[in-house]
């Protein structure tokens, strides 16, 4: 039986003029392990959602052609399919970790006696670091990713769909997840379709590479080594990550004059309401003009909390975080937006407008720069980050990589002195990654400051002037 069959299949999201994917012809045999590649916006996440039976034309979208999962309409094959979304928060529904993994099993009417043994096994498989009664709202982004993967594995699906499963994980967590996926191989293992930008790490897990393009369907297909040897140069030019073809390194431009301190944290600590432990125990950090600082550390170490405190978006439980001479959290929104631009780990948390261009114009307007200037700034950033064709789209309909670029653009739109970014290169293809890094480097080289939390060693090597390690809530 074919696990997946597509014949001239395409999908257009509600309210969009362009097709997310069109002209797809694809056959995947039962048990195959496929790495799905394509430039940002090529339709990879759309295809996974369709295969999971989560796209419904009655909601306003439009479908054409045929798409089958194990010989059935994908909506009729949901009980045989498991998916891990690009954003894990969209699939965590219960207050406690173990209950969240059990939720899918209960919905599929798995016998009660089987549920908790499968929950235990799935959490162990992803090395989930907490007890099963641990609160899901107290997890870091990477820890939520592990929990979402455990929820999919517990279902024991015949088709497993993974959208950037290691993107928010530290090195140890990513290695553990890849080990789990490797252990699923074999004649009785599920069919695997994996979207992953860490291509070199993903290749050993698969036996086939399929590259798609939004308007062109499948543009390359075959054994990984053959595809990259034969098509590597063309794919890299299209923006596809190809092993051994990384973007050219940046040339550092040294700013003139002494650096002024843009932001400073002293004895900084924070505990989320209702939490038993402090998310950040003690941090002493300063960011000067003309420098980029990386925050490194494992999932749950406190990097994102530190970033939010430095950006003035959380009130410290102890200590102070200053922007210049001002307590960051005390600044009113109109002043804060001109001093610091922030990118959250989940970009959807910062979108408030119904159009991409309106989203970009909000910051400049709030900073008092007028509608004409706001529109010009928005147009320039849309062009620079390859989002102009999406100006009228709803931000929530963009791909994960497109949403990330939009969130970085909103941070840059008010020309703040300081940028505070959480995983700024998530979901980017080779071309947009290079463009984002160049934009951040230009901000730094012009005398601005950049503070970014990341698990991306290439970004640290390309951009960071120094690295601050965050471990168990401590940073200095």
How many angstroms separate the Cα of 37 from the Cα of each of 213, 269, 352, 404?
Answer: 9, 41, 30, 18
Please say if the pLDDT value at position 439 is more than 60.
Answer: yes
In a domain, 360, yes or no: yes
Which residue bears the tokens 């798409």?
67
In a domain, 248, yes or no: no
Neighbours of 212 (CB within 10 A): 24
Please say if the pLDDT value at position 280 is more than 70.
Answer: yes
Evaluate whether 178 touches 164 at the Cβ level (below 8 Å). no
Q: What is the C-alpha separation between 220 and 38, in angstroms, rounded?
A: 10
Which residue bears the tokens 């020309």?
415
315: CATH = 3.40.50.300
Q: Which of 408, 461, 460 is nearest to 432 (CA)?
A: 408
Together in a domain, 15 and 161 = yes
Residue 374 is inside which H or E element, if any? helix 371-384
In a domain, 249, yes or no: no
Neighbours of 406 (CB within 10 A): 25
In a domain, 251, yes or no: no
**Cross-strand bridge partners of residue 270:** 280
Q: What is the C-alpha separation between 395 and 362, in angstroms, rounded?
A: 13
> What would the mean pLDDT of 410-420 be, rounded to a whole number?
93
Question: Could you report the per-residue pLDDT of 110-139, keeping only the tens digit for each?
Answer: 999 999 999 999 999 888 889 999 999 888
DSSP helix/strand/coil, 37: strand
Q: What is the pLDDT of residue 260?
A: 87
Together in a domain, 11 and 143 = yes
Boundaries of domain holding 233: 2-238
Q: Which of 185, 203, 238 marks a domain boundary?
A: 238
The count of domains in the chain is: 2
Together in a domain, 83 and 134 = yes
In a domain, 244, yes or no: no
Together in a domain, 379 and 309 = yes
Q: What is the C-alpha separation between 236 and 243, in angstroms, rounded?
A: 9
In a domain, 243, yes or no: no
Please say if the pLDDT value at position 256 is more than 70.
Answer: no
Together in a domain, 35 and 110 = yes
Together in a domain, 233 and 276 = no
Together in a domain, 204 and 318 = no
DSSP helix/strand/coil, 8: strand
At residue 123's C-alpha, the angle toward residues 119 and 126, to 5°, is: 145
Q: What is the C-alpha separation between 136 and 173, in angstroms, rounded?
A: 18
Q: Which of 202, 211, 306, 203 is nearest to 263 (CA)?
A: 306
Q: What is the C-alpha separation between 165 and 193, in angstroms, rounded?
A: 11
In a domain, 50, yes or no: yes
Together in a domain, 293 and 393 = yes
Query: How many angstroms from the chain centroid is the CA of residue 259?
Result: 32
Together in a domain, 347 and 466 = yes
Please say if the pLDDT value at position 27 is more than 80.
Answer: yes
Q: Which of 121, 195, 129 is nearest to 153 (CA)?
A: 121
Together in a domain, 202 and 271 = no
Please say if the pLDDT value at position 290 is more than 80.
Answer: yes
Q: What is the pLDDT of residue 460?
A: 92
Please say if the pLDDT value at position 257 is more than 80.
Answer: no
> What would the mean pLDDT of 296-310 be, rounded to a whole number?
93
Together in a domain, 234 and 266 = no
In a domain, 415, yes or no: yes
If pLDDT is split at 50, 70 and 90, which confidence band does 255 have? low
Q: What is the C-alpha separation between 98 and 150, in angstroms, rounded?
A: 10
Q: Give the dihedral sign, CA 39/43/48/51.
A: negative
Please say if the pLDDT value at position 369 is more than 90.
Answer: no
> What would the mean pLDDT of 217-233 be, rounded to a whole number?
94
Pairing of strands 340-343, 217-222: unpaired
Q: What is the C-alpha separation between 187 and 257, in angstroms, rounded?
A: 64
Together in a domain, 187 and 274 = no
**Gyration radius (Cα) of the chain, Å:** 22
């Amino acid at each position: 039986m074919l696990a997946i069959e597509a014949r001239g299949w395409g999908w257009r999201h509600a309210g969009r003029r362009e097709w997310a994917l069109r002209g797809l012809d694809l056959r995947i045999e039962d048990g195959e392990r496929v790495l799905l590649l394509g430039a940002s916006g090529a339709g990879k996440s759309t295809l996974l959602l369709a295969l999971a039976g989560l796209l419904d034309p009655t909601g306003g979208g439009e479908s054409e052609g045929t798409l089958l999962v194990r010989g059935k309409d994908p909506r009729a094959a949901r009980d045989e399919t498991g998916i891990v979304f690009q954003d894990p928060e969209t699939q965590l529904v219960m207050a406690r970790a173990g209950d969240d993994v059990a939720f899918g099993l209960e919905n599929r009417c798995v016998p009660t006696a089987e549920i908790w043994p499968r929950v235990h096994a799935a959490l162990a498989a992803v090395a989930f670091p907490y007890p099963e009664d641990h609160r899901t709202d107290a997890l870091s982004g990477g820890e939520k990713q592990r929990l979402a993967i455990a929820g999919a594995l517990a279902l024991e699906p015949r088709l497993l769909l993974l959208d950037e499963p290691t993107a928010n994980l530290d090195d140890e967590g990513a290695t553990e997840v890849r080990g789990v996926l490797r252990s699923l191989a074999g004649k009785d293992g599920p069919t695997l379709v994996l979207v992953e930008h860490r291509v070199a790490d993903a290749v050993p897990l698969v036996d086939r590479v399929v590259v798609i393009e939004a308007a062109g369907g499948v543009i390359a297909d075959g054994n990984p080594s053959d595809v990259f040897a034969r098509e590597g140069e063309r794919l890299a030019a299209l923006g596809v990550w190809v092993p051994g073809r990384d973007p050219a390194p940046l040339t550092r431009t040294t700013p003139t004059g002494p650096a002024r301190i843009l932001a400073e944290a002293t004895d900084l600590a924070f505990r989320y309401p209702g939490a038993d432990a402090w998310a950040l125990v003690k941090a002493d950090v300063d960011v000067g003009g003309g420098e980029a600082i990386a925050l490194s550390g494992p999932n749950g170490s406190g990097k994102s909390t530190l970033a939010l405190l430095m950006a003035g978006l959380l009130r410290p439980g102890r200590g102070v975080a200053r922007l210049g001479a001002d307590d960051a959290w005390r600044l009113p929104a109109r002043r804060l937006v001109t001093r610091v631009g922030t990118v959250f780990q989940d970009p959807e948390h910062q979108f408030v407008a119904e159009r991409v261009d309106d989203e970009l114009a909000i910051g400049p307007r709030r900073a008092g720069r007028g509608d004409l200037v706001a529109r010009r700034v928005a147009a320039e950033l849309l062009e620079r980050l390859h989002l102009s064709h999406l100006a009228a789209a709803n931000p929530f309909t963009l791909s994960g990589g497109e949403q990330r670029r939009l969130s970085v653009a909103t941070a840059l739109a008010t020309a703040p002195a300081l940028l505070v970014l959480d995983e700024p290169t998530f979901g980017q293809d080779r071309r947009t990654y290079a463009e984002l890094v160049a934009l951040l480097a230009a901000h730094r080289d012009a005398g601005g400051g950049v503070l970014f939390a990341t698990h991306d060693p290439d970004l640290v090597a390309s951009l960071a002037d120094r690295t601050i390690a965050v471990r168990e809530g401590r940073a200095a």
